[in-house]
């Protein structure tokens, strides 16, 4: 690493810390009743989470740190197979469901927490897409086997913001059960699976998920950025993996988006 790139990384860290401190101060001044200091750093990013935030978007604490940033959710929707039904297996605040619906999919949005489903439904109304989404309060592990869809989208809990403390995030750290089980349950819906995962996830393990199917599924892996910061990794399986694993030089395709 050159001295210049080291310096710019340091500067970026400093700027980030400064912004977070400022966010905490503004939160305590402006929105004491709604925003806790724990979510302050996410609140400052609110328009990248929901561009229509000011129109009445509702969030809870887990929602603040888990919702998929809007431009990444748009990307997920654009990268799905065309048309049909998307099952959003861990719907949360509806960040992904809304963008799938906006692109013309019919969405089945599942979340185990009834309050999250209420918030997701409110948020979908703001985007004018609630009529294209069926909301289900339920446990994905129980509901999935009775569903069929063209795409299964999984953004499960990563164990909270502390996910980044580990250098290599292994799939057994996902919740409510390990990533292998989640993937196998999702396969009862469809082999076309999209998973949004931590940026420090063990990419080899992610690739191995494709071997849970016979013949192995195509897999494609990309990093997702917002304003130059990597926010997560998306793995596309089955027909959602456009480029597949056809290159003889690589066992997986990782590219920056
Ligand atoms: P982050 O790493 O907590 O934020 O989450 P940030 O601003 O990159 O933190 P920093 O300390 O590196 O500056 C980044 C993104 O990951 C969030 O915007 C969410 O989209 C996603 N995310 C984070 N968590 C803890 C979860 C989770 O538990 N589940 C899901 N599905 N997504 C999460
Ligand atoms: N992609 C979502 C964020 C998902 S966060 C968004 O953009 O808003 C993960 C979600 O999984 C949380 O809302 C949590 O309530 C939900 N969840 C946890 N265990 C679950 C289970 N067993 N079945 C369904 N949902 C579950």
Distance CA 85, CA 75 (A): 17
Q: Is the pLDDT of residue 177 over 60?
A: yes
The percent of residues above 90 in pLDDT, for the chain, comes to: 77
Q: Is the pLDDT of residue 33 over 60?
A: no
Distance CA 92, CA 208 (A): 27
| Nearest-atom index, ligand 2, CA of 110 | 24
Give the pLDDT mean for 97-102: 98
Comparing CA positions, the residue from 53, 54, 55, 71 lying closest to residue 63 is 53
Which two three-digit tokens encode residue 136? Answer: 């289900």
Ligand 1 and 225: CB distance under 6 A? no
Ligand 2 and 123: CB distance under 6 A? no
Query: Quick one: pLDDT band at residue 20, thresholds 50, 70, 90?
Result: low
Q: Is the pLDDT of residue 257 over 60?
A: no
CA 61–ligand 2 middle distance (angstroms): 12
Half-sphere exposure of 206 (CA within 13 A, CB side): 28
Sheet holding 133-137, edge to edge: 133-137, 106-111, 85-88, 151-154, 193-197, 229-237, 219-226, 254-256
**From residue 216, how far is each of 124, 209, 213 by CA, in Å?**
36, 9, 5
Q: Is the pLDDT of residue 39 over 70?
A: yes
Phi-psi region of 35 (alpha: psi -120 to 50; beta: other; left: phi over 0): beta
pLDDT of residue 2: 43
pLDDT of residue 28: 46
CA 241–ligand 1 middle distance (angstroms): 23
Residue bearing the CA closest to ligand 2, atom 12: 92
Comparing CA positions, the residue from 211, 149, 221 lying closest to residue 180 is 211
Find the ligand nearest to 159 CA: 1
Give the pLDDT mean for 219-244: 92
At residue 133, φ and ψ (nearest 5 deg) are -125, 130
Q: Is the pLDDT of residue 231 over 70?
A: yes
Ligand 2 and 119: CB distance under 6 A? no
Q: What share of the chain is helix, strand, coil (3-state, %, to 5)?
A: 45, 20, 35
Q: Is the pLDDT of residue 157 over 60?
A: yes
Query: Quick one: pLDDT band at residue 98, thresholds 50, 70, 90?
Result: very high
Residue bearing the CA closest to ligand 1, atom 26: 66
What would you measure as the largest C-alpha separation in the chain, in angstroms? 57
Residue bearing the CA closest to ligand 1, atom 32: 66
Distance CA 133, CA 105 (A): 9
Mean pLDDT (the chain, rounded): 87
Is the peptide bond preceding residue 215 cis, with omega within 30 degrees of 0? Answer: yes
Query: Quick one: pLDDT band at residue 248, thresholds 50, 70, 90?
Result: very low
Ligand 2 and 46: CB distance under 6 A? no
CA 40–ligand 2 middle distance (angstroms): 21
Task: Find residue 256's DSSP bridge partners.
Answer: 223
| CB of 184 closer than 8 Å to CB of 211 | no
Ligand 2 and 60: CB distance under 6 A? no
Where b means 16+ CB within 10 Å and e means fewer, 50-84 reads beebeeebbbeebbbebbbbbbbbbbbbebbbeee
């Amino acid at each position: 690493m050159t001295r210049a790139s080291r310096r710019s990384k340091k500067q970026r860290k400093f700027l980030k810390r400064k912004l977070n401190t400022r966010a905490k101060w503004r939160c305590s001044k402006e929105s004491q009743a709604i925003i806790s200091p724990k979510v302050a750093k996410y609140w400052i990013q609110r328009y990248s989470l929901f561009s229509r935030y000011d129109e009445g978007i509702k969030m809870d604490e887990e929602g603040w740190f888990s919702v998929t940033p809007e431009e990444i959710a748009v990307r997920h929707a654009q990268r799905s197979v065309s048309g049909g039904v998307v099952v959003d297996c861990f719907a949360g605040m509806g960040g992904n469901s809304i963008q799938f619906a906006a692109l013309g999919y019919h969405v089945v949005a599942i979340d185990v927490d009834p309050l999250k489903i209420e918030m997701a439904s409110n948020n979908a109304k703001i985007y004018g897409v609630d009529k294209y989404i069926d909301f289900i309060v339920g446990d994905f592990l129980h509901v999935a086997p009775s569903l069929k869809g063209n795409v299964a989208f999984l953004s499960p809990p990563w164990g909270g913001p502390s996910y980044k403390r580990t250098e290599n995030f292994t799939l057994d750290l996902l919740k409510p059960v390990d990533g292998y089980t989640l993937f196998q349950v999702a396969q009862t819906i469809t082999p076309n699976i999209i998973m949004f995962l931590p940026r420090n996830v063990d990419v080899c393990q992610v690739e191995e998920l494709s071997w849970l199917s016979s013949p192995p599924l195509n897999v494609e892996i990309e990093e997702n950025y917002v304003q130059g910061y990597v926010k997560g990794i998306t793995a596309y399986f089955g027909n959602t993996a456009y480029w597949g694993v056809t290159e003889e030089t690589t066992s997986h395709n990782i590219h920056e988006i």
